[in-house]
Chains A and B, each alone.
Chain A
Amino acid sequence: MNKKYITLSSIILFFAFSCSEDFLNKTDPTVLVASTYYQTEKQVEQAVNGVYGQLQGQILNQWQYNEFITDNTTLDFNVGNRGQGPALEAIEFWQINASTPNITGLYNSSYQALANINTTLSKLPGAKFSDEKKQQYEGELKFVRAYYYFHLVQYFGEVIIITEPLAVPAEAFAFEREPVDEVYALVKSDLNTAISFLPVTHTSANLGRATKGAALALLGKVHLTRKEYAEAIGALNQVLPLGYSLLPDYADVFDPQNKNHAESIFDVQFQGDNLLGEHSNFIYTFAPRGAGAIINFPSQNGGGWNTPSKDIIAAYEAGDLRKDVSLQEGYTNKDGVWVAVPFINKYNHPHTVLGATNDNWPVIRYADVMLMLAEAINEQSGPTTEAYGYLNAVRMRANLPPLSGLNKDTFRDAVLTERRIELAFENHRWFDLKRTKNPDELAAFLNAYGVKEKSDPTTSRGGIPFSSADFQFAPYEALFPIPADQRRINSNLTQNEGY
């Protein structure tokens, strides 16, 4: 009798315990699982698109590090909200330290994008589609990777080089910063791969992807930055026969009705007038804090950031057609009163949906290539006719008289000034200054600007005085600090001198 029930119990337990293990396998039904991704052409294409997508986020913030920090722009001072002090304003007033959140943000978003690029690159060999197509994607990914590292090395100096995805988080703690030369070697190698794999043009359905011309122009800039003038000229010269040209009207260069035109070599693409989330909103950041400046939405306030300084406004020569396109010196508010707070006008265009503008961001355009050539040739051989040709072509479009009779030094200054005006508010200024000045010269230059801005601020400060540490630039600040958050968890990370 007993035996029977023991058997019975065993049967019960057997059934009870035999529930299948897949009861415990649950995956998120609302997203794709990474472990099975990157297999088909479509998946890889979407991963590459995702890399470009991250570039949008990068470019929406880049003005802080390339314009705001320089003599080009300042801010529409917000008396009421002083909470921005340690964040954005630290960049404007050169009070950056290793905890400045916006510097941490720059560092983090760059490496987050790189991880995505590295992951996608590592999955390419195993994906199932044609090698030809794989090469194109490899070219695009390496172009964007070079773009990020080129920026990182200019912002931070020595940085960690990572080119493969990590298997487990623990591996991430062992990396060290690599010499600047190593970073540049990677940038050049990536760009050379991109140059060989990327097409000169894309079909209209693929406009916006990186091209051979973009990779060549970026390589030219890399060499120029490294003062490798012959190589710079070599790379940039290869851009010339690819069919780019200056548009006759400077305003057309930024008009979203006219995207991906003959002058644009690489733009970060946005699409406004809808709520699909791929719009830009530069004017909403750059417009003064009072309402009235934003086209189509005159009752909207702007962020009051990246405000053109009195210094750059004064730098425009009389009759320069570019001035009104690039900036406005004030706006009319809803009461019909003129408010003299300047703002960047380059990205202020008609749009139908609040907050969703259609403006692309020009990363590399032909005028930049021409001015780089002028700069490189001058450094290599002095102000030759060819160098004048490039510089004056840009000036002529702006309705300015051609320059002549300059020596190597004054020509260099002329190119720098021309770049400041022609490429105003396109995120070139910080790197242009760093490229043409050593840290001591940079500090002297910026402090001179700081003295001017302090004595005659571009915008009203509502009675709040400058802090004594505002606009004090030390040579070490030519490099940004490695974020404290990263150093805290990786003791291998050294800090830049001075921080």
Chain B
Amino acid sequence: MKHYYHILKRLLLFLTILASANFAYAQSQTVSGTIRSQDDNSPIPGVNVLIKGTTTGTVTDASGFYTISSEEGATLVFSSIGYASQEVPVAGRTIIDLALASDIQSLSEVIIVGYGSQRRADITSAVSVVNMENIGDVPASNVTRLLQGQAPGVQVRQTAGTPGKEMEVTIRGIGSLGAGSAPLYVVDGFPVGTSIGQSLNPSDIASISVLKDAASTAIYGARGSNGVILITTKTAKEGELNLTFDATYGVQNVPDSRRTKMMNGVEFAQFKHDSFVDKIRYFEKREPSIDEVPLEFRYPEQTQYSTDWFEEITNQNASFQNYNVTLSAGKGDIRSLVSIGYLDQQGAIIETGFKRFNVRANVDGKINNFISMGWNIAGSNSHEKYGDTDGRDALIGRALWTDPRYPVYNPDGTFLNYIGGTNGVFGAVNPVQEMHEMDRNINQTNILTNGYLQFTFLKDFKFKSSINATLVNAHLKQFRPSILAGTGFNQPPPREASLYERDHESINIAADQILTYTKRLTDHSFEVMLGYSAQEATEKNLIVTGNQFPDDIVRYAQAAVKRNIGSDSNFPAETSWSLLAYFGRVNYSFKDKYLLSASYRREGSSRFGANNKWGNFPAASVGWRVSEESFIPDYTWLTDLKIRASYGVTGNNNIGNYTSLANMLPSNYIIGNNIANGQRLGRFGNALLGWEQSKQTDVGLDLGLFDNRLIFTAEYYNRVTDDMLLSIDIPVISGFTQTISNIGKVENKGIELALDYRTTVNEFNLRSNFNISFNHNKVLEIRGENDEIWNGGFYSVYNVSKVGRPIGMLYGFRMIGIFNTDQEIAESPTQDGAIPGTYKYFDANGDGVISYDQEDMIEIGNPHPAFNWALTLGADYKLFDLNVLFTGAQNYDIMRNIEATTMNMDGVFNILQSGVNRWRSAENPGDGRGATSSTWKWQRESNSRYIYDASHIWVKNISLGFRFPETTALKNARLFLSAENLFLLTDFPGSNPEINRRGGVNLGVDDEAYPVPRTFSVGANITF
């Protein structure tokens, strides 16, 4: 805490110094006037009126009126978002009225960049701005949804349909093998981390900028390597007083087309029947008698029950509700905004859901001519009811493989509490009962607050001191009553009841001091920024577990016979990190034609080894606005042409907090029949551990045609990440099998194209935006020439990162067919234990033996899409508006690992309906996609049988709106219909081609996850 105190003390010192300073006032005359729109002659409030070359300015009020003190010979600059700015010399006049022309995507639009903002025209780096208008009326419970399809090079995957869940965002490919590839999120200037979490209300977002190249992200130093997402929340619009009410109500369903078809009760009994028969036929070479089939399978058609467990755990018409009320007051020097939001999203899976209550308040404005301030506080409280849903041995997986020949309920209406478990079929918990009987809740309170004081001194200097903090308090509780069967196979109830509770609190504080100097001369324009930032975050966890409860009624720790209090390595009792950074940036433009920007950051982090705490992150970019050159003819169709290039160095510090330090861990023993404390080494210290560095080159072109009705952007980039932070295998003689090390090199290079076209045909306003990105990922080095990193398991897919190939390629046996006869087996490379009907694998190392290990495993799939694209189409006609979003990804593979279970033929699991076409005999070899049921071997090992092309097109959202004519009482009233996740066009047989359950470098594995529902919603926006 003492560091915060230091920061505060320093702040007070600045205040004292500045308050005692003298400030100069300029001599002036008064100019006033009214600004109207060229389109409809209505007054425009909130137009910035600036005396050129100074920072002196004002804004128009609600009636478009302004007054400003100005020298006679000055020039006034009028600018407003959505309008082309104009410069008007005062020339002695005292009244200047003006009509501004609307500008679709104005070059003078101010874009938020790291530690500041820039005019779009001046930007020389790769920055994508999410156009909030393009998003449509999406039922978004998480702010990451707003990014989907909005910027080239930004891949946003909805890996699961869990209510409130953050989507997986990757900018320009996987840049790290061990330290994560998630971007840095910055909310209102506060770097909150590589996850945005679930607390932010999407309705509170005013704008999102995505920083992609090193020139824009290097100012964030060691956290900039995977890109930066800058989120700005809403503030009151100048001159406006608004009360806005938004409401959305929707229903969510998992469409039939996205459900996996399993065998029903009769089909499964038939399958089991046949498998008993086939086994005797193969192993004993005789025709079995009917008595040899267990009674329960002997007459499949007499199977009494048939339960579709997936159907039973899904909700019908799960509701989605979202309400927001915003009051914003922008009149006068101090503007304020207050908003309240409430979200209630039921899950597509029963007994799951997410509720969130948000409040936000901010004030900002001028205290006097040289001090301005702003303060923002946002609080949220959320309640999540979750299930252990994702994975084969979790709810969704179990709902697929659990024996369908049992009812959900006993005749008396109670749950049947043990399903299957006879004649080789795995016994399992009743999935419906588990969801109903368990308590699984997360309550989280999150406060994000930031504020600044800004001093303007001399004419051109500004000093901004800001402080930011997030405070989080979360409580997780999970209770599993004794009445439930176990989570493993064949664990009938009653079991020992268990309780797990975790209390989490964290505080993350940052303080920034920024000094800027802005000077605009006739031909030259400078902006110099110097800054200093300190940040510290601390997290505390307390875990309470309880076992052996006398009953299932009192579900608190005090009732447990066995109790334990502690923490674990994922949720340590206390952990913290800190960073310090000095940074600076110079932007220079000459005649608005030649643009130059350079930045530098020196940053220290507590996470790195004693010898490598500090890293340097320089970057530079140049831009040339060709269209401003006099040698370019003044074509009316050419609005803007800019060529730019950048280069910079960024870092990634996203490893554990104390990874560089060797520590001791308890290793107790019994001495003298008593517990004796013991200690052993816990980790290999690495004092040399340092920054992962990315060097990125970016070349871009911005072209605006026909008054920017058509805007085209193209980028080429090449990012090489070196000194990669990687948990590497080390010889165990060191005492450890792994250590984090700076080793390895990965390249991501690619092309991004974006095209935005807007036009008006008769009374139709048409908008379209298309973006596409091609990324190529390649491992250049891992600890020498031929090394590779294997993740995963023999039965659960390997992701292998190998020099010369992309990260995390899918590895396994190549399945080249199904053995039909013993003779075929004898003539093939040895597969020990193979029988007719098992898969035939490729002898990759050519030694004549398919060994039951990794020796013959090869690359069988590529989880990286060749390209990702998105298309937004929009149209307004009179009072109607329409918005459609398509997203897609092409040419990539997913290992549908769940099928190693749902096509596991040894009769322990329910199988896919298509399993009826499995191999049964040489005469009846089936469709070549399913093995014999007579053995377990050579079918469920990681192999190419389970690889599918996951190329897909999503019709992600269609929104249709109707706007009521404006009245004096009602500024805006609009109704809308929206369909989210409407259609999925793909050959991929799983429910979600964006699945990435394992995350990190374990890409492209589908072991089932929370299904992504289709949502139909209606809503209204009303502004008074």
Contacts and interface: CB of A to CB of B under 8 A. Distances in A.
Nearest to B851: A97
Contact of B680 (A1, A47, A160): A47
Contact of B833 (A4, A469, A486): A469
B575 A116 contact: no
A130 interface: no
A34 B660 CA distance: 12
Contact of B677 (A46, A79, A97, A172): A46
A17 B532 contact: yes
Contacts of A209: 671
B691 to A, nearest CB: 13
Interface string A151-177: 000000000101001101101110100
Interface string A460-472: 0011010111000
Contacts of B577: 26
A198 to B, nearest CB: 15
A270 interface: yes
B735 A116 contact: yes
Interface residues of B, number: 99
Interface string B714-734: 000000000000001111111
Interface in A470-484: 484
B685 A34 contact: yes
A187 to B, nearest CB: 17
A169 B853 contact: no
B679 A43 contact: yes
B664 interface: yes
B664 A277 contact: no
A489 B658 contact: no
Contact of B852 (A86, A166, A488): A86
Nearest to B496: A354
Interface in B511-537: 513, 515, 530, 532, 534, 536
Interface in B27-54: none
A300 to B, nearest CB: 11
B670 interface: yes
Contacts of B730: 169, 172-173, 489
Interface string A64-81: 000000000000000111
A95 to B, nearest CB: 8
A30 B741 contact: no
Nearest to A271: B670
Interface in B647-679: 657-658, 661-679
Contact of B604 (A24, A166, A259, A278): A24
B295 interface: no
Contact of B669 (A37, A56, A81, A115): A56
Contacts of A28: 572, 575, 657-658, 661, 663
A448 interface: no
Contact of B664 (A32, A112, A271): A32
Contacts of B606: 23-26
Interface string B113-150: 00000000000000000000000000000000000000
Contacts of A484: 853-854
A160 B733 contact: yes
A16 B686 contact: no
Contacts of A26: 576-578, 606, 657-658
A433 interface: no
Contact of B457 (A5, A17, A49, A82): A5
A208 B21 contact: no
A316 to B, nearest CB: 32
A35 B662 contact: yes
Interface stretch (B6-14, B78-86, B637-645, B1010-1018): B6-14
Nearest to B562: A275
A204 interface: yes
B279 A463 contact: yes
Interface in B713-762: 728-737, 739, 741
Contacts of B681: 34, 115-116, 119
Nearest to A207: B672
B489 A80 contact: yes
B906 interface: yes
Contacts of B671: 49, 52, 205-209, 269
A467 B672 contact: no
A85 interface: yes
B794 A86 contact: yes
Given A119-B681, A207-B671, A207-B672, A24 B605 contact: yes
Contact of B679 (A46, A168, A169, A488): A46
A284 B740 CA distance: 36
Nearest to A86: B852
B853 A80 contact: no
Contacts of A53: 667-669, 678, 680
A322 B591 CA distance: 100
Contacts of A208: 669-673
A33 B663 CA distance: 4
Interface string A275-302: 1111000000000000000000000000
B463 interface: yes
A465 to B, nearest CB: 6
Nearest to B531: A16
A12 interface: yes
Contact of B10 (A15, A463, A490): A15
B309 to A, nearest CB: 20
Range for the number of chain A residues in contact with chain B? 35 or more
Given A30-B572, A79-B424, A269-B671, A467 B833 contact: yes
Nearest to B563: A275
A76 to B, nearest CB: 14
A497 interface: no
A207 B728 CA distance: 41
Contacts of A31: 663-665, 682
Interface in A347-376: 354
Nearest to A270: B670
A270 B670 CA distance: 6
A276 B676 CA distance: 11
A407 interface: no
Contact of B736 (A48, A112, A259, A467): A112
Interface string B916-930: 000000000000000
B662 A175 contact: no
A62 interface: no
Contacts of B869: none
Given A23-B580, A169-B686, A269-B670, A46 B678 contact: yes
A81 B661 CA distance: 41
B782 to A, nearest CB: 11
23 contacts: A16-B513, A24-B605, A26-B606, A31-B663, A33-B661, A34-B661, A35-B685, A49-B676, A52-B669, A53-B668, A86-B853, A98-B853, A99-B853, A99-B855, A115-B736, A169-B730, A173-B730, A271-B675, A463-B279, A468-B833, A489-B730, A489-B787, A490-B731
Given A26-B658, A32-B664, A79-B424, 19 more contacts: A8-B17, A15-B14, A30-B567, A34-B683, A37-B679, A49-B669, A49-B671, A49-B678, A54-B667, A86-B852, A97-B851, A99-B854, A112-B736, A115-B733, A166-B734, A169-B684, A169-B739, A175-B731, A209-B671
Interface of B: 3, 6, 10, 13-14, 17-18, 21, 24, 279, 283, 424, 426, 457-458, 461, 463, 489-490, 496, 513, 515, 530, 532, 534, 536, 562, 564, 567, 572-580, 582, 604-606, 613, 657-658, 661-686, 688, 728-737, 739, 741, 783, 787, 794-795, 832-833, 851-855, 906, 908, 936-937
- Which 6 pairs from chain A and chain B are nearest by CB? A115-B735, A49-B678, A53-B667, A34-B662, A50-B678, A50-B667
Interface of A: 1-2, 4-5, 8-9, 11-13, 15-17, 19, 21, 23-35, 37, 43, 46-54, 56, 79-83, 85-86, 95, 97-99, 107-108, 111-112, 114-116, 119, 160, 162, 165-166, 168-169, 171-173, 175, 202-209, 259-260, 269-271, 275-278, 354, 462-463, 465, 467-469, 484-486, 488-490
